[in-house]
Amino acid sequence: MVRINSAFIEKLRSYGSFDINACYNCGNCTAICPLSTENNSFPRRMIRAAILGLEERIDSSVDPWLCYYCGECTDTCPRDADPGGLMMALRRYQIRKFSVGKIGDFFYKSFHSFFVWLILTLIGVAGIFYFKGNPDMEEIKPLSLFSLDLLHYAGIIAFVFLLVIVFSQLYIMLKSTNFKSESSNKSGNYFKTFFTVLFREVFFQERFEKCEDKSRYFAHLLLVWGFIGLFIATITIMMMDFFAPHSEGIRIIPKILGLISGLPALYGTLYFMIIRAKKKGSYAKFSHHTDWMFILLVFLAILSGFALDILRWSSLFKVYYFTFAFHILVVFELIVSFPFTKFAHILYRPFALFLVELRNSRK
């Protein structure tokens, strides 16, 4: 039996700005969308489901993740219903919906979110004080500012915590989409599909490239590449600290990779901050407070990382100390909030594309 939630559209309003009740179902948005296909037709299908209050149909759909919010449907909608805005709101709704223990609720409700960020900041600051104590700034050397061993153990704990949450949430999404029962009679090549999605959609963002606004595509591509480079550089340095703590010479390689990757990532974050601040285009017309928190944290993490690389060679020990503390605090907040905020799109979008690719390859 199909259940109808008449209050669903009202619930959705807290996740975005749109006027979907104005829609008269002309289908123009689906016709103009460069990403909508016969097999995966959106956004009209999602619009109908939202208007009719078919909450379960929305929960079980991966369509919101197939949209890159190019805004072409919004710009050409004859009723100004903002279908692109609705798709964005649905993604925020699903991030909250798929979060373990509904933790996402705390980040998406503005009132609660203020306290969540405050608590995370206090925990981070307390952790930094606990690890370091009260150093005499004039005597310490830059590399002995923090107990690196303790930091690395904290990093490993955070990593394990993230893995558990990430796989739990992907499982929740998988269960919600009922994907298994749809395709249980057919065979599929999981690895081939996984690597196809990884190369085409993660490394080269092929679907995103179909959107008309190429500057947004390039900024996003640079951000993704920069982010991957920074991730590899950070993990490599952490591994070296553990397994080869005296290998100062070869550490230069991941450090250079970090510096090279930081530049495109910084450009990407700055680009998105500027177009959001200027409300440039339908994509940036409305920004949820969670969008701002995510992009700000990424920007601050990269910027403080850069500053550390420069300060490392200076004698400004106090400045280095506080920059390091700030960097750790920002990275801590970013990591802990990752599965419950906009950051989680790097998880759900590839997974949705993987499921769609698998489904299509079996037809």
CA distances in angstroms from 36 to 52, 69, 186, listed in the order given? 21, 12, 25
Angle of CA points 188, 192, 196, to nearest 5°: 125
Choosing from 10, 27, 143, 310, the residue that interacts with ligand SF4 (CB under 6 A) is 27
Choosing from 12, 47, 222, 334, the residue that interacts with ligand SF4 (CB under 6 A) is 47
**Residue 189 touching ligand SF4 (CB under 6 A):** no
Q: Do 189 and 360 contact (CB within 8 A), yes or no?
A: no
The site map against ligand SF4 for 85-124 (x = CB under 6 A) is --x-------------------------------------
Please state the closest distance from residue 121 (CB atom) to ligand SF4, in A. Answer: 34
DSSP alpha helix (H) spans, 141-251: 148-177, 179-183, 190-197, 206-209, 214-243
**Residue 77 touching ligand SF4 (CB under 6 A):** yes
Q: Do 348 and 357 contact (CB within 8 A), yes or no?
A: no
**Residue 79 touching ligand SF4 (CB under 6 A):** yes
**Residue 28 touching ligand SF4 (CB under 6 A):** yes
**Residue 26 touching ligand SF4 (CB under 6 A):** yes
**Residue 83 touching ligand SF4 (CB under 6 A):** yes
Question: Could you give the 3-state DSSP secondary structure of residue 18?
Answer: coil
260 Cβ partners below 8 Å, 6+ apart? 229
CA distances in angstroms from 198 to 37, 191, 194, 206, listed in the order given? 21, 10, 6, 11
**Residue 221 touching ligand SF4 (CB under 6 A):** no
**Residue 71 touching ligand SF4 (CB under 6 A):** yes
Choosing from 12, 54, 58, 67, the residue that interacts with ligand SF4 (CB under 6 A) is 67
- Identify which of residues 95 and 233 has a Cβ nearer to ligand SF4 in the complex: 95
- Pick from 146, 158, 122, 102: which is nearest to 334 by CA? 158
Choosing from 12, 16, 33, 343, the residue that interacts with ligand SF4 (CB under 6 A) is 33
CA distance 173 to 351: 9
**Residue 212 touching ligand SF4 (CB under 6 A):** no
Please state the closest distance from residue 102 (CB atom) to ligand SF4, in A. Answer: 27
**Residue 72 touching ligand SF4 (CB under 6 A):** yes
Please state the closest distance from residue 18 (CB atom) to ligand SF4, in A. Answer: 9
DSSP string spanning 255-279? Answer: HHHHHHHHHHHHHHHHHHHHHHHHT
* Exposed e or buried b per residue across 337-355, where buried means at least 16 C-beta atoms within 10 angstroms of its C-beta: bbbbbbbbbebbbbbbbbb
DSSP alpha helix (H) spans, 79-134: 83-97, 104-108, 110-132
Please state the closest distance from residue 153 (CB atom) to ligand SF4, in A. Answer: 43
Site size with ligand SF4, rule: CB under 6 A: 28
Choosing from 2, 3, 24, 139, the residue that interacts with ligand SF4 (CB under 6 A) is 24
Q: Stretches 33-41, 94-102, 153-161, 187-195: which one binds ligand SF4 (CB under 6 A)?
A: 33-41
Q: Stretches 43-51, 98-106, 333-341, 346-354: which one binds ligand SF4 (CB under 6 A)?
A: 43-51
- With residue 65 as reference, give the H or E element that holds it: none
Q: Stretches 82-90, 92-100, 144-152, 231-239: which one binds ligand SF4 (CB under 6 A)?
A: 82-90
Residues contributing to the site for ligand SF4 (CB under 6 A)? 23-29, 33, 35-36, 42-44, 47, 67-73, 77-79, 81, 83-84, 87
